[in-house]
Amino acid sequence: MTIKTGDSLPDATLIRFGAEGPEAVAISDLTKGRKVVIFAVPGAFTPTCHMAHVPSFIRTKAEFDAKGVDEIICVSVNDPFVMKAWGEATGATEAGITMLADAESAFTTAIGMNFDAPPAGLMARSKRYAMLVEDGKITQLNAEENPGQCEISAGEGLLAAI
């Protein structure tokens, strides 16, 4: 079942690249008592994700900060080493965006946002979306119909909806 506005996020663990290397982080720890933006992409370094989606949140980070957002998190079904490199390559890490790996697609599958695109070599990937989460509950969810589009899930699209 696909998540929707009003739902609480499931208990799930993602992986970030910390000072000592890969480390597990619970979504509940990141969202409890906080206002957080989570956006997901089909794959690090893929064209739309790299040239449109991540840059849209870098451009709009100050506007989210002004709306009281505590953290912006990018999730992708990749390993933490790729997410670290991608955060550095795009400037997302320097901008203060948290890059999290959903290496096994467990979180993505639990929220019903998984898809396969064999012709593109993408298996068990995440649909493109952006959501505002307040204290673990989704208050706004903008999901793209097509993973190649980045409009309502872009930083500007989510800002317009909140």
Catalytic residues: 49
Rounded to an integer, what distance in angstroms lies between the CA atom of residue 45 and that of residue 71? 22
Whole-angstrom distance between the N-terminal and C-terminal Cα of the chain?
24
Rounded to an integer, what distance in angstroms lies between the CA atom of residue 119 and that of residue 121? 6
Rounded to an integer, what distance in angstroms lies between the CA atom of residue 21 and that of residue 10? 25
Whole-angstrom CA distances from 2 to 9, 35, 120, 158 are 11, 21, 23, 19
